[in-house]
Chains A and B, each alone.
Chain A
Amino acid sequence: MNVIALMKALPGSVAQGLIWGLLAMGVYITYKVLDYADLTVDGSLCTGGAVAVMMMLAGYHPFLALVGATIAGMLAGLVTGVFHVTFGIPAILSGILTQLGLYSVNMRIMGKSNQAISVDKYNLLLSLRNIPKAIFVASISCVIVIVILYWFFGTELGRSIRATGNNENMSRAQGINTKTMKIIGLMLSNGLVGLSGALYAQYQGNADVNMGRGAIVIGLAAVIIGGVLFGKLFHNFAFRLVGVVFGAILYFVVITIVLQLGLETTDLKLVSALIVAVFLAVPYLRGQYYTKHGKKRREGKCLN
């Protein structure tokens, strides 16, 4: 392994990890808070990137492009929510349907499968050509999002969403409209994914119709790695989100190392899938082991 090449590549993986950390926090909202496996992510990441790039190409301010991307992501979440809550389509299938449909939508937004945006011609917020700046911008974004989410999930509305994910029967008995809560949660989550897509498109200098493929797995990897490695340390909600961002960074660092070991970039999907499988399997197998050997079983859901 070429250590020098690895050291050179690491700052880039940190920047990527921070950008994907925003997506991972969105996945955390659905997967952990709402207890909903939302596959919309694979489509809405690109939607965010596409909207942001097209808006900037049309001359809008980059900040406005971020807002546009976030709103586009939220709309995608709304669609999944309506599929599930109003039309009674199972959760996973609702996400898959939206994700599939978004492919066409994303093509319509961009007009072709790839839209480049050059950092030389446009005033981008971040780019892989200036990694320290990219790390700075992405860090600030993560901090702002964590602060907002911490506040939101402490409000009456946010707590109602958490209660819905925790115990729907109880929530309805306490007068919470669980359907609306799920939709709000999905919108919030995919809004973050859209934002992440907007930053990622700027970072890599283009929006591509395939940029979201497998994004849910990366998001899950970050959430799960963050939970397994930092779950014991962090109990406060804000710190858990920090753990999720760390999880995303760690994921990209691992990927960088794997690449340095000589694997092709096309092998990465397999690596990602295996990482997630391993991190999901370990707590389960550990639980089984403790049951079998008569030791006190650790709490089944020891991921968060």
Chain B
Amino acid sequence: MLELKEIYKTFNPNSPNEKRALNGVNLTLEAGDFVTIIGGNGAGKSTMLNAVAGVWPVDSGQVMIDGVDVTKLPEHKRAIYLGRVFQDPMNGTATDMEIEENLAIAYRRGQSRGLRWGITAKEREWYKELLKTLDLGLETRLRAKVGLLSGGQRQALTLLMATLKKPKLLLLDEHTAALDPKTAAKVLELSDRMIEENGLTALMVTHNMKDAIAHGNRLIMMSNGRIILDIKGEEKQKLTVEDLLQKFSVASGSEFVNDRALLG
């Protein structure tokens, strides 16, 4: 479903702030794979997701989504294939617009947007049904501005927007990191459910080792812009945090330094 071939990306090249963020990333996802991504700060986790989404052009390498080479496509054209949820709950929605307007915009992802009225009565009913399944009471607030919602409600709405038009690939970029633990757990559960119900292929960046182990069918660990571990199948199911730490030090030759990941 997704194929990354030898992706390189350096930020601020030829300057004192030069940072090689992606250092030859290779990754192939099968349809239906739900991959969790873990790694220390600056390991390249979010950068890899941004390379897939086309936020900026990569220096070299190739990005293929479902057999289509999208390496040269700008971000808004790749959006046809992708559903995205960001770390910052402010990022995924238009706050001055209504809940139903946000959904209507998401529903038209990949379509040309012309002079037809932006939302139909039939859609509205459907959105109401979908919002009911979130169980957050949003189904009665279709005309409310998204800016009035809490962070958790916004992330849930963004998840719904990302999957409204079934994407080839769902990108979750630490989408629970800014939420309190209880809300985070709920949003994670919701993500699991949506991925399963829609049979989606997904990449989820997380800083929480336990979450990374508990969710998905495959786990990759990144360090210094490379994938250093790739665990799937039965091995993934039996994995523990201790295993993961041990594997990390073997693979990278250093200790895993990220308190957030250990304590979280």
Residues of A near any B CB (own CB < 8 A)? 152, 154-160, 162-163, 166-167, 169-178
Contacts and interface: CB of A to CB of B under 8 A. Distances in A.
A162 B97 contact: yes
Contacts of B115: 152, 155-157
Contacts of A166: 94-97
B80 A175 contact: yes
Interface in B66-98: 75-77, 79-80, 82, 84, 86, 90-97
A160 B86 contact: no
Given A155-B116, A156-B108, A171-B94, 11 more contacts: A154-B118, A159-B97, A159-B101, A159-B105, A163-B97, A167-B93, A167-B94, A167-B95, A169-B86, A174-B105, A175-B80
Given A167-B91, A169-B91, A174-B106, A155 B114 contact: yes
B94 A162 contact: yes
A157 B82 CA distance: 21
A176 B111 CA distance: 9
Interface residues of B, number: 32
A147 to B, nearest CB: 14
Interface of B: 53, 75-77, 79-80, 82, 84, 86, 90-97, 101, 104-106, 108-111, 113-118, 161
24 contacts: A156-B113, A156-B114, A157-B113, A157-B114, A159-B101, A160-B105, A160-B113, A162-B94, A162-B97, A163-B94, A163-B97, A166-B94, A166-B97, A167-B93, A169-B86, A171-B76, A172-B75, A173-B75, A173-B84, A174-B79, A174-B109, A175-B79, A175-B111, A176-B105
Contact of B118 (A155, A167, A177): A155
Contact of B76 (A155, A159, A162, A176): A176
B116 A156 contact: yes
The 4 closest A-B CB pairs, nearest first, are: A175-B79, A166-B94, A156-B113, A159-B118
